Structure 1
C-alpha cells in the first residue's frame, strides 16, 4: 500500500462513515471516500505524513486510532490560536473585502510565468508542518453513550522533494522528524500519555522515477498518469473555466455529498501538491470563491516568514483554510482550526489543529535547497 489511504479504502462502510471524532484520519477517510468515485491515484504519493501501516487501519476497526492534526495556542486574530511558526501581524483591515473579492484579486495578481527547468535542474518543494498524533479509544458497542477518551500531541515534521526536468527520471524525497512536540489535550493527564514516536515512513530518503518512492505499493504508480496529482498530465487535463472547476470538485467529492466544505477541502489538497501551474491556480482561486460559505478569517497569518490571508469554510466541527499572499497570488500554506464542536472533545474551539507551509523553487542539483 502506498499510504494509509489505501488501508482505509479497505475498511467497511460503517467504519469509513463513523461519526467518531477521528481528527485528521477523518480528513483522510473523506479524501479516500471521495476518491472511490474519482481518480484513485490523485493524492497518494503526496500524503507522505500518514504511515504505511495496515495496523493503523486495523486500529480504526478496533476503536483505537492514530491521528494527525497540527499546532497550538496563543491568541491571534479571527478568534483562532496561533501555531509555532505561524503568527499574526498588524496590517490594514482587508476583512472589509469579501472572500470572493480576495480570491479574485489574488487570481488577478498572478502575473508570473512558471519557470522552465533546464536539463539538470530540479523543482524543489518543501513542506514544513505540525501534525497531531495521538490515541482515541472507541466506545463499546454495548455502551454507545460512553464518552470517547484519548489524547493528542502536536508533532513537527518536514518533507522535501526534488523533481527533475525530465520527470521520468529519479525524484528524491526526504522526510524529517523534527524536534518540536506539544501537548494539545486529552482525557488523561499528559504524564500518562506517551509522546509520539517516528514510524519507518516518517523519516529517511527515497528515490524513484516519477516520484514512485514506494515501488512495492499497489496499485503501482505509473509515469504520466493523468489521475495522479504529481503528474503534469493531471493539470493539463483540468479545465480552466472556474465554473467547470467547481463541477470537477463537485464530481470528485460526490461520494461525500459534495458539500461546499468538502469541495473546498479537496481543492486545498490539490494546491498542497505544489505543482499547479500559475494559469490554473488563478482559475482555481476563482472557482473556490464561488463556493457557498467561503470567508476571510485572518487578514495576516505569517507562515515561516511569509504573510498571507486565511480564507476558508467552517462547519460545526472544523474549518479548513488556504493561506494566500494577496499581493502575488502565491499559495503559501494551509491550516485547520477546531470549530464550535471539535471532533476531539478535549480540543478547545478555535484551536489551530493543522498547519503546513509550502515553498517551491528551482535548484540546480539534486539535494540543493538554496
Structure 2
C-alpha cells in the first residue's frame, strides 16, 4: 500500500465512522476521491493530517499563490507567514457585488489571453510551481445535531509543490513537495497539545512517474493519454471552445456532485490550477465560469505573490472562494478560500483564510 493509499483509506475510514459532514472540505475531498474525476492526478496526494484513532481528519484546502504547479476574495492575499484572518478593509462586501460585473471582468480577461503559450522544446520541461498555505486539523465528535459539540483545532501548513513535465508528456515527470515552515496554530476549542499536528509522509518528498503517475499502485489507475485526465493534452483537445458548451460540460461533469455552483466553480478552478490549459481554451473557460450562478466580482483588486488582478468570487454559508485573474495578460494567478458564517469549525472566525495559493509556469532546461 502506498502512502497515498494509506492516507485515502484513513480519510474514508474517518468519513464512514464519524457521522460529521466534512462540509468545509467536501468539495476538495470529492474532487480528489470521486470515481467520476480524473484517474489519480498529482493533486490526489494532497497531504492529509492523520490523527489518533477516533479523530476525524480535516484537510481544509488552503494554499498560498506563489508559483505555478498540478476555493477567495479580499485585497492582498495572505502568504504563509501573514495573518490568517483578513485585515480590516480587506473583506469584500460580496452581497454588494454584481454578477454582471463579474461577467464583464472575466470577458475582459478572456479578451487579453495570449494567442499562444510558451512552447516546451524537445528535451525541455515545463515547471509548474504552486506555493501556498493549507489549513489542516483534527476534530473529535460529531456536528450533525449540534455544531457546538464538535471539538478540535486547525493549523496552517506552508508548502511548495513543484512539478516538472517533459515536452513529451508521456515521459517521466517529477513532483517535489516541500514544507517551507512550521505549522501555525489557527485556533481550536481544545489545546494545541490535544490537537497536535504532524505532517504526513505525502507532505514532503520526491515522486517520479511516467505521465505524472506518481502512485502507480493506486486506483483508479492513471493511463497515459487518457482524454479524461487533465494532465493530458488529449483532455484539452476534446473540450469545446464555446463558453456555453463549456458551461454545459462543467454541469454534466459535476453531475454526480449535484452540479451545484460550488462544485462547478471548484472543478473549473482545479483544472486551471493544473497549469496546462492552452491559451485559446483558457479564454473561453473564463467566459464559462462567468455563467455559473452566484459568481461575483470582488470589490477592489486582489494581490497574490506580488501579482495583482481581479478577484472572482463564489460564496455560500460554509466558505468563500476567490480565484484571481491577471487583467493585463489573462493569466490565472491563484486562489484562496475563507471561512463562511456557518462552518463546522466554529472556533474559526468568519473570514479566516484557510487556503491561499499562487501558481506560476515556466520552461526550464532540465528536470529537478
TM over 0.5: yes
Distance 1:80 1:345 in 2: 25
Provide the rounded CA distance (Å) in 2 between the counterparts of 1:204 and 1:121: 23
2:27 is the alignment partner of 1:30: no
State the SS of the aligned residue for 1:218: coil
- The CA deviation at 1:366 is 1.4
- Would you say the 8 A contact 1:325–1:331 is kept in 2? yes
Shift of 1:85: 6.5
- Tell me if structure 2 keeps the 8 A contact 1:69–1:154: no
Deviation track 1:203-224 (CA, whole Å, cap 9, x = no partner) reads 1112111111112222322110
Decide whether aligned partners of structure 1 residues 70 and 180 sit closer, same or farther in structure 2, where only a CA change above 3 A counts: farther
The match for 2:155 is 153
Distance 1:156 1:298, change over 3 A: farther
1:106–1:146 CA distance, 2 compared to 1 (3 A): closer
C-alpha separation in 1, matches of 2:324 and 2:188:
29
SS in 2 for 1:47: helix
Q: Report 1:144-223 matches (<5 A).
A: 147-190=149-192, 192-194=194-196, 196-223=197-224
8 Å CA contact 2:77, 2:336 repeated in 1 = no
Inter-partner Cα distance in structure 1 for 2:18 and 2:327: 37
DSSP-derived class of the 1:366 partner: coil
Q: State the distance in 1 between where 2:280 and 2:292 align.
A: 20
| Equivalent residue, structure 1, for 2:57 | 65
* TM-score normalized by the length of structure 1: 0.83
Match of 1:127 in 2: 130
1:83 Cα deviation after fit: 4.2
Q: Which residue does the alignment assign to 1:46?
A: 43
- Cα distance in 1 for residues equivalent to 2:174 and 2:247: 33
Q: 1:181 Cα deviation (Å)?
A: 2.4
Contact 1:152 1:186 in 2 (8 A): yes
**Aligned partner of 1:136 among 114, 117, 139:** 139
Query: Using CA pairs below 8 Å that are at least 6 residues apart, which structure has the higher relative contact order?
Result: 2
CA offset digits 1:80-119 (Å, max 9, x no partner): 98444779999xxxx7871111100000010241122111
Q: 1:294 to 1:85 in 2, by over 3 A?
A: farther
Q: Would you say how many aligned residue pairs link Structure 1 and Structure 2?
A: 348
Q: Distance in 2 between matches of 1:329 and 1:16?
A: 45
Secondary structure, counterpart of 2:21 in structure 1: coil
- Say if 1:333 and 1:358, in contact at 8 Å, map to a contact too: yes
**Which consecutive unaligned segments of at least 5 residues does structure 1 have?**
none
* TM-score, length-scaled by structure 2: 0.83
* Structure 2: segments with no counterpart, 5+ residues: 65-71, 91-96
C-alpha distance in 1, partners of 2:18/2:231?
28
